[in-house]
């Protein structure tokens, strides 16, 4: 029987204190990986997740930095090396939250913050973590993109443009590091059900669900499952992929 076994692997999940990130971290840990739990401002939830994983017998640590700053990412990398060892799996999940507006109303600073947290985060993480992956000839570099990168709907301009920039970087990276047995892929969630929805009773969003071929919203666990698959040896020959996990709401063409 096939199963996802990440025993002996070290994973970094950026934005791991967030609603999607914490489920990714739990899932990777449940598959056997040691997990570096990254946060920027949400220290309380990061430490709570660390305590949860530790109580379940999973090895983890908490790290913090601004992923849009290269020097900060390099310091984080050194801290992970010291606490867990060199990372085999990097999941770039962190993103700056902001208020979505029409293009003519959106502040210029929002475009810059999205570019830094989506596109430049990947650049910084690659420069920090890929050299060690290449030396060991094994690595999984996974970015969390979005269905919005394909939709390009009204009010999405800062987010969608940054995620499309991220997509270009990840595709080039996949071609450059494939020779070192490193895969580079993207998971693109739709409007996902999270812990917050379950608590607030907002799981159902009928207008959105009517557009989705599977007629429902995906769950945070379904996003994490895709990440765990791409992190595993089961996905050893998949690279350069943009994989929507959105029930068919967007469908990449050929």
Query: Annotated catalytic sites, by residue?
Result: 159
In sequence order, the 6+-apart residues with CB closer than 8 A to the CB of 40 are 15, 64, 65, 66, 67, 94
Greatest CA separation for the chain = 54
* Rounded CA separation 145/216 (Å): 20
**DSSP string of 171-201?**
HHHHHHHGGGTEEEEEEEE-S-B-HHHHHHT
Three-state secondary structure call for residue 144? strand
Q: Would you say 20 and 76 are in contact if contact means Cβ atoms under 8 Å apart?
A: no
In sequence order, the 6+-apart residues with CB closer than 8 A to the CB of 71 are none
Q: Are strands 89-92 and 34-39 parallel, antiparallel or unpaired?
A: unpaired
């Amino acid at each position: 029987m096939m199963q996802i076994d990440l025993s002996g692997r070290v994973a970094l999940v950026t934005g791991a204190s967030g609603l999607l990130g914490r489920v990714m971290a739990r899932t990777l840990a449940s598959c056997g990986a040691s997990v570096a739990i990254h946060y920027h401002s949400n220290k309380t939830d990061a430490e709570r997740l660390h305590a949860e994983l530790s109580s379940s017998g999973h090895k983890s640590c908490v790290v913090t930095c601004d992923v849009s700053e290269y020097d900060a990412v390099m310091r984080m990398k050194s801290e992970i090396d010291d606490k867990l060892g060199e990372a085999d799996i990097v999941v770039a999940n962190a993103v700056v939250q902001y208020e979505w507006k029409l293009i003519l109303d959106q502040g210029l600073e929002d475009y810059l913050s999205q570019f830094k947290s989506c596109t430049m985060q990947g650049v910084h993480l690659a420069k920090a973590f890929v050299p060690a992956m290449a030396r060991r000839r094994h690595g999984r570099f996974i970015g969390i993109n979005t269905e919005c990168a394909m939709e390009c709907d009204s009010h999405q301009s800062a987010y969608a443009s940054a995620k499309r920039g991220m997509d270009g970087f990840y595709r080039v990276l996949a071609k450059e590091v494939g020779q070192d047995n490193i895969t580079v892929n993207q998971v693109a969630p739709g409007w996902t059900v999270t812990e917050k929805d379950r608590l607030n009773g907002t799981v159902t969003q009928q207008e959105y669900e009517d557009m989705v071929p599977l007629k429902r919203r995906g769950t945070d666990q379904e996003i994490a499952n895709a990440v765990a698959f791409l992190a595993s040896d089961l996905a050893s020959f998949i690279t350069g992929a943009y994989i929507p996990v959105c029930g068919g709401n967007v469908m990449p063409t050929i």
